[in-house]
Structure 1
Amino acid sequence: MSSIDIQNLNFNYQPNSTTLSDVNVQFEIGQFSLLVGPSGSGKSTLLKILTGLLPEFGGEIVNGVFSIPNQLKVGLVFQNPNHQFTLDTPRHELEFVLENLRIDPKLMPAKINAALAFCEIESLIDRQLNTLSGGEKQKVALAIVIAMNRDIILLDEPFASIDPQSRAELIAKLVTLRDQQQKTIIIADHDLLGYKQVVDHVYTIHNQTIQTLSREDGLQLLTDFEKQVPAITSTLPIANLEVAFNFDELQIQIQQHALLSQSSLQIPSGKVTLITGENGIGKSTLFLSMAKLMKFSGEIQMNQTNIQKIKAKKYAREVALIFQDSENQFLTVTMREEIELSKQHRKSDYFNDAMITSCLTQLNLNELLDQVVYTLSEGQKKKLQILLMIIVEPEVLLLDEPLKGLDIDSIHQIVTILNAYRAEHQQTIVMISHQFSGLNQFVDYHLNFANQKLTYVETVS
């Protein structure tokens, strides 16, 4: 069986700063391969090398070679789908891609419809991309690569913002591409659920190099991960709890499309509340409304005060929204500059310089202080983003997909830092997440968002 063959590969982004070292690995053609490793270990870098994006647009292959057999064509689904888009709607994106491939215009509509149907997003064809949820954008990015009909499909954290049911369905469809069209599938992922029954090979990347696991060791790795993700247990809020937010006849819509119609709801103070729901249901839009960044009708109260009556500057100091896309949070150039900016807004000496250094060490960011934030891996960006916002000690944290791009150890470190702070300070956390890894014993309450309503449930698995 032929394979993508990588021999003695060494890659640097900067001189004397090795990202990949002495990589020797083969990815078999027509197989489903899974690449796992810590945030910032080089998974995205390897995929970009295989597509030719690197070193074309950065870095240097110091030595070594790689070969792709039979001139097979490669397509990549980026970890951040925003980096993949050029135009305004899925239709225009797909037309643009197919035009660049010199596809006969008469054949384009059928190819576009088939790609959208594959990802079950036909209804999104003319939606503005900047109005889509993170999960919907990831599905559009996948549809683009499907339309390109590449022989080798590389996917970089493709399901990080996708709800569990859609994730399972898309994995099954990728298996179909392997089995029925002999496509080669290579996925880099931190969330290892759902792969045990479908992958052919598992590779680990650590200390700048890659190891091919035996069949038995690969299955054991996936089994061990499943054991680390027990069901999250949550209770229903009891009466007379202190309330952080109260919704009264809250109506939220976007482009004339109703998302939420909530007659009343209370979110407890000083607790962690998880919000789940299908992609595009309106979760991120709800957070924008709670942060006073989007219009709504009805009333949202914080600590019994209508948030519309709270001055914007004061409210921004008390309620911090951590965006789903980390880059939207950054204001300067380097990690050091971002941290210095957050330090200017500290409310107490809890996050003193020693504590910040300790947190950076826990998160494996301490040696990256002078790196440009936009050159960090997506997982490193996410860890930095969360740290920057908790340094300013807001009363309320709104976390939109905070686990995206994070390995399980990084999730545990983030939860540890948050819990240590909350042990000494009253802080309310409301979080949106499709991933539950590492959240057991962290979440107090669970809200399910469906049919334009938020409803408390007792458990989520």
Structure 2
Amino acid sequence: MDHFAVTNLTFAYAEDAPPIFQELTFAPEPGTFNLLTGPSGSGKSTLLKLLAGLYPQYGGVIQSGEVTVNDTEISTLQPFQRAAHVAMLFQNPSRQFAMRTVLEQLQFALANLQLSPPEIDRRIQTVLTDLHLTQFTHRALETLSGGEQQRVALASVLALGSSLILLDEPFANVDAAGRTQLLADLKTLQRTQHKTIILADHDLSGYAGLVDQLYHVDGTQRTLLQESPAALPATTPATPVQGQPLTTGPLAWHDLSLTVGDRPLITAAQFTLPAGQLGLLSGDNGAGKSTLFAALTRQRRYAGDVRYQDRPAKQYKLKQWALQVAEVYQNSPDQFIRIQASDELALSAQHSLHPTYWTAERIAQAAARLNLAAVLDHVSYALSGGQQKKLQVLSMLIMGQPVLLLDEPFAGLDQASLQAVLTLLQQTVHDLQLSALVVSHQRQGVVSFMDYELRLADQQLQLIAGEAA
């Protein structure tokens, strides 16, 4: 088994920048399952990229110390050589895709290892079977849900056969059943093939009994603190939403049906989004939640009737519609327009539909509550995944469209950040009487803020919590 070590490492994003890690020493025991925790922006992703040899090649400066595999500095190895030792799954799975279909993507990844065609075929069949993905073999990657893409990206990583597997928030968009299954698959891989697994996650549910070592990334002390895995919480039953009586609202759909190719996703759905209330849209990966949002924002064709203020959506020009119905995308950088975080917020303020509400003082207060004040002069694309989410949500709240659809807005958020985002979201929805609907697979810490829940399953969209008006 390969031996990885971080020795007396001091790393910063620039020579004159404060260090992210200060004289860090870390050597995971080969063949163990390791969990990294810590606040958004503390350095979890940075540590994984250092172990993968991506830093300092693609960013940052090692001011002292080294990262080695079998006593060789990992950054000196060629990419195909590194892949034999270490593979990494990024927070955003689409960043790992270069081909059109699942099969083509796996073939491409393995061909870069200079494997023979029979070995490539063998590995593909093995990993698709092990991860229960054989039905996706010929699917186009762009037609998969965020959670399905995450599972395919994981398959690409596991197929490489690397001894160290690094996973950065791998379950952010995965439903509860998929999360449980993938955790079991990873544990089996660790036990049977003696893989070393290092996984960064904010949601600690489901890890009890699986983790060998638990580490907390301390951004203040710029180091790792080892903790007892016995402190991990036991799995608890999903908490239901305590539904409230629903109000009326401006956006409604009737007999709405959606398909992807020849596969029906939603049949004859109808609902009116209530104003001044926050709703949860739940459902398994691939059920059609993101597709529904795409239809409501007129980015995808649909059958049936969608209306705003009782006027058919198709009577609005697209620019007019965008001023009524907005979406917070799963992938935060897709939403950014400006390079610097402060400029992103300034642009939203310039075009806000509620400028008297979103004053400069209120925006500054919101940024401080979200712990963004210290990074507003940073490049938006260089922020951590959690910081990007908070910046994205704040910028869209400032815009203030009457209808706001949020697709996995809590991915990558630690508990403190989650509560801050939800509190700000709830307050803004109430104050401005917005109609807000949230897709989230995370329920812990979320459902108590929700006024109602819609469930999408078996092509049916049903109100399962909340009393219809």
- TM-score when normalising by structure 2: 0.91
| Structure 1 partner of 2:241 | 233
CA RMSD of aligned residues (A): 2.1
Say whether residues 1:253 and 2:272 are aligned partners: no
| Post-superposition offset of 1:308 | 1.8
Say whether residues 1:14 and 2:14 are aligned partners: yes
1:106 maps to a residue whose letter is P
| Structure 1 partner of 2:145 | 133
1:62 maps to a residue whose letter is Q
Q: 1:219 aligns with which of 230, 233, 245?
A: 230
- Measure, in 1, the Cα distance between the counterparts of 2:121 and 2:238: 44
- Measure, in 1, the Cα distance between the counterparts of 2:423 and 2:465: 24
| Post-superposition offset of 1:430 | 0.4
Check the 8 A contact 1:4/1:27 in 2, yes or no: yes
- Measure, in 1, the Cα distance between the counterparts of 2:434 and 2:149: 31
Q: 1:164 aligns with which of 170, 173, 176?
A: 176
User: What secondary structure does 1:418 align onto?
Assistant: helix
Check the 8 A contact 2:265/2:459 in 1, yes or no: yes
| Structure 2 partner of 1:444 | 451
| Structure 1 partner of 2:324 | 318
Q: Deviations over 1:150-207 (max 9, x none)?
A: 1111100001000000000000011101111111111001111100121011000012
Show the 5 A alignment for 1:200-219. Answer: 200-206=212-218, 207=220, 209-215=222-228, 218-219=229-230
Q: Deviations over 1:249-273 (max 9, x none)?
A: 1111122321111243333332111
- Measure, in 2, the Cα distance between the counterparts of 1:2 and 1:452: 47
Q: Deviations over 1:229-248 (max 9, x none)?
A: 9724232756xx41443321
| Structure 1 partner of 2:421 | 414
Q: Deviations over 1:83-127 (max 9, x none)?
A: 111122211111111111111102222211211222222222222
| Structure 1 partner of 2:350 | 344
Say whether residues 1:364 and 2:371 are aligned partners: yes
- Measure, in 1, the Cα distance between the counterparts of 2:396 and 2:316: 20
User: Gaps (5+ residues) in structure 2?
Assistant: 73-83
- Measure, in 2, the Cα distance between the counterparts of 1:3 and 1:413: 40
User: Gaps (5+ residues) in structure 1?
Assistant: none
Show the 5 A alignment for 1:375-454. Answer: 375-454=382-461
User: What secondary structure does 1:110 align onto?
Assistant: helix
Check the 8 A contact 1:230/1:440 in 2, yes or no: no
- TM-score when normalising by structure 1: 0.93
| Post-superposition offset of 1:320 | 1.3
| Structure 2 partner of 1:66 | 67
| Post-superposition offset of 1:66 | 2.7
Say whether residues 1:4 and 2:11 are aligned partners: no
| Structure 2 partner of 1:296 | 302
Say whether residues 1:456 and 2:459 are aligned partners: no
| Post-superposition offset of 1:318 | 2.0
- Measure, in 1, the Cα distance between the counterparts of 2:431 and 2:279: 19
Distance change >3 Å, CA 118–CA 70, structure 1 → 2: farther
Q: Deviations over 1:432-458 (max 9, x none)?
A: 000123213211111111111111223
- Measure, in 2, the Cα distance between the counterparts of 1:359 and 1:236: 27
1:357 maps to a residue whose letter is A
Check the 8 A contact 2:33/2:190 in 1, yes or no: yes
Q: Which is worse superposed, 310-319 or 270-279?
A: 310-319
Q: 2:160 aligns with which of 148, 151, 154?
A: 148
- Measure, in 2, the Cα distance between the counterparts of 1:312 and 1:214: 52
| Structure 1 partner of 2:135 | 123
- Measure, in 1, the Cα distance between the counterparts of 2:149 and 2:216: 27
Q: 2:187 aligns with which of 170, 175, 193?
A: 175
> Sequence identity of aligned pairs in percent?
37
